[in-house]
């Protein structure tokens, strides 16, 4: 029976680790060895990592790879990707190479607006509240000037504030719905600071107003940015004449294009397929988001909400054949930053941004969307030609070999055998067992 622990956060790192090892492991020394093996030998660097979060005991490594040959708007990019799943980087690289000889990827920033809200209850005359809001609206801007000054100098700031009546959904519920431009920062702290000041201004002005009777009540519930950013959108696309799609695995480009378009159409109308389809897109998106120190949970939540914007969860990507031209594209909401947060703290994040040639936030939106589209293209190409497992399982072979702690000699024999044999987990296990008999 495990025991509760009091004051865990106040323990030293060594004390925390010792408690974990003794409490949860029959051989504490083995656990301690594993934990210490993943510490960075540079004490200063390890301390930096320790201070990113609370109660740190060690580092969990995720491979950082690169996918080269991405031709984006006429310029070549090598895209860093942090991900643990086999075949993702290989698939992205393959798609990049394919499209580099067919015009490359084209991107467009549709908008960069971000959203924050003050949620509050009001029990009283809604028309009076609307008049009150219009009267005090300028104060929301003036009383946040100390917060917005630096952002305004960079071309950002508060774009607009609206009063929204949501009583049809929840009794007495209203919002201050605000739009922001945060330039190269993701802007979460900036937006939340503005919103909290909005809330203070709203309460103070309400208390001083003569418009309301003593029976009218206003109560702020919370002030918080939204990770749903349907107006912070980027479009990425590829297109070429159908005959240019031809290659080794695509002997009949017309048939391939038709099957590909139908595969996308299935994801547009079938949620069970759409979820897996979009997960493939996010394999590319999340890998870049993580490598560049951005918040992939926020991106995931916003993207999947956007995929449901028409009332049913659907594909983020689309495809068509028109006048002999094959076109494949996606529009995706991405609130990303290249300054602030981990971007200036994590050495590998800084390295990844250097590899990307120090992009602006909008450039990073474009690169990330392209990675998602490339990943989706690679998956759909496999699904509609050779099948998804052939390439994936060959990349997964290393994981199976490592699971069985194969020697160098065994590794060589296994890889040689499966060059011409279908890779399945059971087939690899059987081959290893026969080797060892």
Task: State the catalytic residue, choosing from 16, 97, 279, 320.
Answer: 279
Residues 6+ apart with CB under 8 A from 228: 115, 301, 302, 305, 306, 333
In the residue annotation, 279 being an active-site residue is answered as yes
CA angle, 431 as apex, 428 and 435 as ends, to 5°?
140
Q: Where are the alpha helices (DSSP H) in 58-216?
A: 88-100, 126-142, 145-153, 188-208
Pairwise CA distance, residues 368 & 351, whole Å: 16
Task: State the catalytic residue, choosing from 184, 196, 286, 295.
Answer: 295
Q: Which helix (H) or strand (E) holds 36?
A: helix 28-37
**Residue 203 to residues 121, 132, 162, 197, 208: CA-CA distances in angstroms?**
11, 12, 16, 10, 9
In the residue annotation, 183 being an active-site residue is answered as no
The 3-state DSSP class for residue 11 equals coil
Helix axis angle for 425-435 and 388-403, nearest 10°, is: 40
Residues 6+ apart with CB under 8 A from 206: 132, 212, 218
Task: State the catalytic residue, choosing from 85, 268, 331, 410.
Answer: 85
In the residue annotation, 295 being an active-site residue is answered as yes
In the residue annotation, 42 being an active-site residue is answered as no
Residues forming the active site: 85, 279, 295, 392
């Amino acid at each position: 029976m495990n025991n509760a622990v009091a004051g865990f956060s106040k323990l030293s790192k060594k004390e925390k680790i010792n408690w974990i090892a003794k409490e949860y492991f029959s051989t504490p020394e083995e656990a301690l060895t594993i934990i210490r093996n993943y510490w960075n030998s540079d004490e200063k660097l390890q301390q930096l990592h320790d201070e990113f979060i609370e109660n740190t005991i060690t580092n969990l490594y995720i491979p950082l790879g690169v996918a080269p040959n991405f031709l984006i708007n006429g310029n070549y990019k090598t895209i860093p990707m942090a991900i643990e799943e086999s075949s993702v980087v290989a698939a992205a690289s393959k798609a990049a190479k394919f499209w580099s000889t067919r015009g490359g990827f084209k991107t467009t920033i549709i908008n960069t607006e971000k959203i924050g809200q003050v949620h509050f209850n009001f029990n009283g005359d809604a028309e009076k509240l609307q008049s009150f809001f219009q009267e005090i609206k300028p104060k929301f801007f003036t009383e946040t000037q100390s917060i917005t000054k630096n952002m305004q100098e960079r071309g950002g700031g508060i774009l607009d504030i609206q009063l929204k009546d949501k009583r049809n959904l929840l009794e007495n519920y209203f919002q201050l719905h605000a739009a922001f431009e945060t330039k190269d920062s993701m802007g979460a702290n900036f937006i939340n600071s503005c919103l909290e000041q909005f809330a203070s201004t709203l309460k103070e002005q309400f208390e001083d107003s003569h418009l309301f009777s003593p029976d009218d009540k206003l109560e702020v519930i919370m002030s918080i940015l939204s990770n749903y950013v349907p107006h912070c959108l980027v479009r990425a696309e590829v297109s070429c004449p159908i005959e240019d799609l031809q290659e080794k695995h695509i002997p009949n480009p017309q048939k391939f294009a038709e099957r590909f378009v139908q595969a996308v159409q299935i994801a547009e109308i079938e949620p069970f397929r759409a979820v897996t389809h979009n997960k493939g897109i996010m394999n590319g998106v999340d890998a870049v988001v993580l490598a560049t120190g951005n918040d992939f949970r926020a991106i995931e939540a916003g993207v999947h909400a956007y995929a449901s914007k028409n009332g049913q969860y659907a594909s983020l990507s689309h495809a068509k054949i028109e006048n002999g031209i094959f076109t494949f594209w996606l529009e995706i909401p991405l609130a990303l930053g290249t300054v602030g947060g981990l971007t200036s703290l994590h050495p590998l994040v800084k390295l990844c941004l250097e590899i990307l040639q120090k992009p602006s936030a909008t450039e990073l939106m474009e690169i990330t969307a392209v990675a998602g589209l490339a990943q989706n293209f690679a998956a759909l190409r496999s699904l509609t030609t050779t099948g998804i497992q052939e390439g994936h399982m060959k990349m997964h072979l290393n994981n199976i070999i490592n699971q069985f702690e194969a020697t160098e000699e065994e590794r060589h024999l296994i890889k040689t055998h499966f060059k011409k044999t279908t890779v399945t987990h059971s087939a690899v296990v059987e081959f290893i067992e026969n080797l060892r008999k």
